[in-house]
Structure formats: structure tokens, C-alpha cells
Amino acid sequence: MQPDFLYIPELAAVIPVVIPVATAILIAILSEIHLFARKKRAATMPAIIAILGFALTFIYVYYLGIAVWTGGLQTFTWPLDASHTEPCSVVMIADQFSVLLMGIFTVLGFVVSVYSIGYMKNDTGLPRYYMLLLIMVGAMNGVVVSGDLFTLFLFYETMSICSFILVAFRRTWEGLEASIKYLMMSAIGSTLVLLSASYLYGLTGTLNLGVMATAIRAGSGHPLIPILVALMTAGFGVKGAIVPFAAWLADAHPAAPSGISAMLSGVVIKVGIYGIVRMNAVLFPFEMVNWPLLLAIFAAVTMTAGNFYALTQTDLKRMLAYSSITQIGFILFAFAATPYAGTAFGYETGAFYVVVHAFTKGLLFLCAGAFLHAVGTRDLDALQGIGKKMPLTSAFFAIGVLSLMGMPPFAGFYAKLLILAAGVDAGLVIGSPYLLFTLVAVFNALLALGYYLRMLNVVWLKDPTENVENAHRSSTSMLCAMALLAIALVVIGVYPAPVYSIAEAAGSALFQVEAFITGITGALSP
């Protein structure tokens, strides 16, 4: 049972959004009354408040998860008097898939806040840094519980604005250039989403996802529907970093502070993938338009292009950024498999891979930041032998790389194996093209070994260069943050059942489209 002081049924879906935003406002107030005037306080106090905010948010997400698992969908509507029937009313709805994603967003925000105590201690404007981080996570939580396109777009743009500013937080030329490029491409993507939403509103007379989905299913299939699928997929695909819309990512990830790189790669791009999968699954039945084929093609192109770009890199953070593009291809591959197979298996494995990739790539960017912090360079050749000078950080880095490779006993082994199994499962259906896409996925899993092994070779097997001779150990907060993610990857790898059971329920909830639609429309009833 949930404690009454923590769980408020009528506000259940919105509180994970409110807590991070309220914590950000608290930091702003304390900053205005000059509580952080001293340099030491400015480096630690905002971080501690942010950490407590994320911890409280996660506790609430945990109790919300219990409510969803035991009592079904949890909804919030506005106005609160429940006397409305207008299809444009604000609806927020939490299912198992939403809860899983909110948990990942919050955990990574917590870890990055811990890491930033040491990594950002010499930076100025830290209250603003933690405020933006909190608001960004709150907005991401808002995106995944939105039951109407207006609310979703509002949170989506809030998340985007925070991420633009955080990429350029240190006001370096590289960061400003990357942020402007990110802003321009995201603006195009947002315009495509807005354009598709406006056409859908014209077709159905509503922005409510449940009412809209019901109207589309009741129709005979408008000729604009395939175009709207393409617009929606491309629009969210910019944020999701699918090729050919991912040009911003390779600049933004290296330029951002490493904690923000971890957030961008670990969770922010997953919001774009959420938009693609949720919108297509809810609004456009597979029988009406073959959107899974479009996703499968994007997946194959994305994973292949990401790999070939990564193979040519010498900048460690840029290599990891292109690796993220490859992994997005694998995630899309899993989600596209489900409609062909007719079971929730692809959604379940995709949800599990989202968890594992968030922790893995978050860990790798934090380790890359620790190397940069200690040596002052991201050049892979200049980091040769750093494993002998920073053994603990390099051990965490090795865990992350081995997990990405899919090596047992790390979490990535099960994640990659299950995704390929989902591809085979979808490919065995008569008339399905998915065996071909599965072969492409296997090829890319093997191709990626080229730069994964190179990273391990440079860090651990090469003799130390002059650059790394004077490398200092990472701060305690940085090591603790990296250790949390590394331990998680080992624990999930050794005993994946608890996390996979949560991902399985999340995938099943995503698969049960009619229940989601009914939950939204039911929330509108007086």
C-alpha cells in the first residue's frame, strides 16, 4: 500500500513533474537571497538540493509504479472538477511504460547531480545548471505522461530549451556553435510535429490522443495518414537522433559538460523515440498504415551509419556520440518488430534495452568526462595507457564498453540477445521482411566491435603517454556516480529478472493500445 502523504490519487500522474520543477524554483529562491554567495556553498548546496529533489521524485515514481501495477492506469485531468467532456481538456496518464521511463530519467538525473559536485565545482552559475537539469527531467516526465498533443508539445519544447542552454552552459565557442546547430535542427523537428498535430486536429477536431485515435479508427483511412506518419516520425526523429536527422548529436554531445552528455545520450534522445513509438502505436493502426516498415528502414540506416561514423573518430566523446546513434537504431529495430510478430515481445525487449543503454551510455560519458577532467583532452590517442593511471575510472569505463559489446556477465549481453531474438521472432512470420533487418542488426553488432575493442586497447593495453602521466584521480562524488551505474550494469547482467519483469510489463502496456485509449477517454467522462 502507498502512504497517503506520498500518494495522492487525483494528482498521481502530475506529481513526478511537479517535484523537480518545485525543487528548481526552491534553488532559484535560495540563490536570490544569496544563500549560495560563498564559493564553497555555491559548488555544493544547489547539488545537494537537486539530489534530494531527484530522490523524492524517484520515491514518488516508485509508489506511482505500485499503484499502476496494482490498480491500472493513473490519470490527471484539468480542470480538476471532472465535470468537463471537452476533448481538448488536459489529460495526463501514467501506465507501466511511462513509469519505467520516468524512473530512468530520474535515476540518471540523480546520478548526474552527484557526479557534477566534483566535475562542475570550478564552474560559475551552478544554481542555474541544477535548475535547468531539474526542469529538463520534470519536462521529460511530463512528455511521457501526456495524454494530449498540446500538453506533450509544451513539455517537449520545455525539455528542448533546457537542453539547448545546458549544451552551451560553459559558453565556449564549441558549445555555442553546437547549441545553435542543435536548436536549429530541433526547431525544424518541432515544426514537423506541430504541422502533423495541426492536420490531425483538422481531421478529428481534437488534440486528445484517446479521442483522436478513436476517430481515426472509426474512419476509412484518410489519404493524408501516411504523410502524417512520416511527418510525426521525422519530427520526433530529430530529437531521437535517427539518421538522417542526427547531425546535431555528434557536435552537441562532445561540447556539453559530460554530465549533460550523459543525459543527452542516456535519456533525452529516448524522449524522441518515445514520441515516435507512442504516437504511431496509438494513433495509426498497423492495418491502416505500415509504419513499422518505416521504423525498420530507419533503424537499419541509423545503426549502420552510426557505426561507420564511429569507426573514423579519434575524439572519444564524439565516438561515443556516434555509438549512441547506432544504439538508437537497435532500439527502433526492437519496437518496429512487435507489429509484425503480433506479440508484445519486441516492445518488451525494446523497453529493456532502453534501460540498459541509459545506464551504459550514461556511465561511458561520465568516464569520458573524468578522463577529460584529469588530462584535459578528449583525443583517444592522447589517452593511451590511462587505465594504469586511473584504474578505478578505467575499470568502470571497461564495464560500460563490454556491456555495449554485449559481453556476459554485463547487462548489455541480455539486452542485445533479446533484441535479436525479437527480430527473428518477427522475421518468422509469413510475409514479414524482418529476417533481412535482423541480418543487418547482426552485421552492425559485429561491426561495432571494431571501435569498442579499440577503446579498450587504448585505455588498458597501451603504454601511458606524457599526457596521462600526471593524471589525477577522480573526485569522490564522480567515482560514486560512476560506481552506481557500473554496479547496476553488473547486477542486471548477473540477475536480469527483476528489471526485465518491469520492462516486460512496460512493453505489454505499450502493446495494449486499446486500454491506453480507453484510459484517456475515460478520464474525460464526468
Helix 497-511 / helix 96-119 crossing angle, nearest 10 deg: 130
- Is 350 within 8 Å of 296 (Cβ atoms)? no
The pLDDT score that the predictor gives to residue 237 is: 92
C-alpha closest to that of 122 among 376, 489, 373, 446: 373
CA angle 285, 287, 291 (to 5 degrees): 65
Q: Using CB atoms within 10 A of its CB, is residue 446 exposed (0-12), middle (13-18) or buried (19+)?
A: exposed
Which residues fall within 8 angstroms of residue 414, CB to CB, at 6 or more apart? 352, 356, 492, 493, 496, 500
- Is 106 within 8 Å of 134 (Cβ atoms)? no
Looking at the predicted structure, is the pLDDT value of residue 288 above 90? Answer: no
User: Who wins on pLDDT, 215 or 83?
Assistant: 215
C-alpha cell at 202: 483538422
pLDDT range class, residue 33, cuts 50, 70, 90:
confident
Find the helix or strand (DSSP H, E) in which 75 lies: strand 74-78
Cα gap 375→393, rounded to integer Å: 13
The pLDDT score that the predictor gives to residue 99 is: 95
- Is 262 within 8 Å of 309 (Cβ atoms)? no
Residues of the chain by 3-state class (helix, strand, coil), percent to 5: 75, 5, 20
| Residue in the block written with cell 502507498 | 2
The pLDDT score that the predictor gives to residue 82 is: 46
Cα gap 172→178, rounded to integer Å: 10
CA angle 139, 26, 260 (to 5 degrees): 45
C-alpha cell at 291: 509504419
The pLDDT score that the predictor gives to residue 426 is: 86
Please give the backbone phi and psi of residue 407, each rounded to the nearest 5 degrees, phi first: -90, 135
C-alpha cell at 187: 526547431
C-alpha closest to that of 302 among 322, 325, 268, 318: 325
* Cα dist from 213 to 4, 235, 267, whole Å: 35, 19, 27
Instruction: Provide the CA 484 distance to its chain's centre, in angstroms.
Output: 18
Could you report the per-residue pLDDT of 302-361, keeping only the tens digit for each? 999 999 999 999 889 999 999 999 999 999 999 998 888 778 898 999 999 999 999 999
- Is 303 within 8 Å of 333 (Cβ atoms)? yes
Could you report the per-residue pLDDT of 54-105, keeping only the tens digit for each? 999 999 999 999 999 988 888 888 765 544 445 557 888 999 999 999 999 9
Tell me the mean pLDDT in the region 496-500: 93
Q: Using CB atoms within 10 A of its CB, is residue 28 exposed (0-12), middle (13-18) or buried (19+)?
A: middle
Cα gap 190→231, rounded to integer Å: 10
Cα gap 431→293, rounded to integer Å: 12
pLDDT range class, residue 9, cuts 50, 70, 90:
low
pLDDT range class, residue 18, cuts 50, 70, 90:
very high
Residue type, 64: L
- DSSP assignment of 171-209: --HHHHHHHHHHHHHHHHHHHHHHHHHHHHHHHHS--BH
- Is 422 within 8 Å of 337 (Cβ atoms)? yes
Residue type, 134: L
Could you report the per-residue pLDDT of 147-191, keeping only the tens digit for each? 889 999 999 999 999 999 999 998 888 889 988 998 999 999 999
C-alpha closest to that of 412 among 345, 499, 315: 499
Looking at the predicted structure, is the pLDDT value of residue 301 above 90? Answer: yes
Cα gap 484→188, rounded to integer Å: 37
Which residues fall within 8 angstroms of residue 186, CB to CB, at 6 or more apart? 160, 164, 238, 239, 248
Ranges of H-type helices in 245-290:
249-255, 258-263, 269-283
The pLDDT score that the predictor gives to residue 341 is: 76
Cα gap 170→180, rounded to integer Å: 14
Which of the 8 DSSP states describes residue 380? T
